[in-house]
Structure 1
């Protein structure tokens, strides 16, 4: 994912939050950031379960976008 693709992703994520807030588990910044922290701790399991070979020591725009999206629903 390029930087420009990531920017578009974040714009779409914002729109999704505005239009589909009821589908988001974490609606406040506090809840979202708490979920983000937990999601980052567990993201290697997500990549293993989806058969993605991602090096989490070299995070890129794709990983960061996965973290932002996953944090919207992670409990």
Structure 2
């Protein structure tokens, strides 16, 4: 981060558009863990408590995020959507 007002960056992972299965989500979580280990000061939410709070807010915000992007929110939700929420929670304030 360049200043105390920066909110960090999302976890560096492979392309979330390619997430289609439980195994893909597990791979994303492994990539998130490796990114956190390599760059602990760059995430906004580095504790379990702050990450889980951000994950809850991310899950609640996703329908609006999709609307803002002009996309249809998936119904039923997909593995990709879950992976997006996980990565979003690394930076969500």
Q: Which has the higher helix share?
A: 1
Cα shift readout 1:14-63 (whole Å, capped 9, x = no counterpart): 111111221210111011111111111111122123333222x4122101
**Paired positions, count:** 74
Q: Where does residue 89 of structure 2 map in the other structure?
A: 71
- Mean CA deviation greater in 43-52 or 9-18: 43-52
Q: Which runs of 4+ in 1 moved over 6 A?
A: none
For structure 2, the residue ranges without an aligned partner over 5 or more in a row are: 1-19
1:6 paired with 2:25, answer: yes
Distance in 1 (alpha carbons) for counterparts of 2:90 and 2:37: 12
Structure with higher RCO (Cα < 8 A, 6+ apart): 1
Change (3 A) 1:23 1:51: farther
For structure 1, the residue ranges without an aligned partner over 5 or more in a row are: none
TM-score by length of 2: 0.70
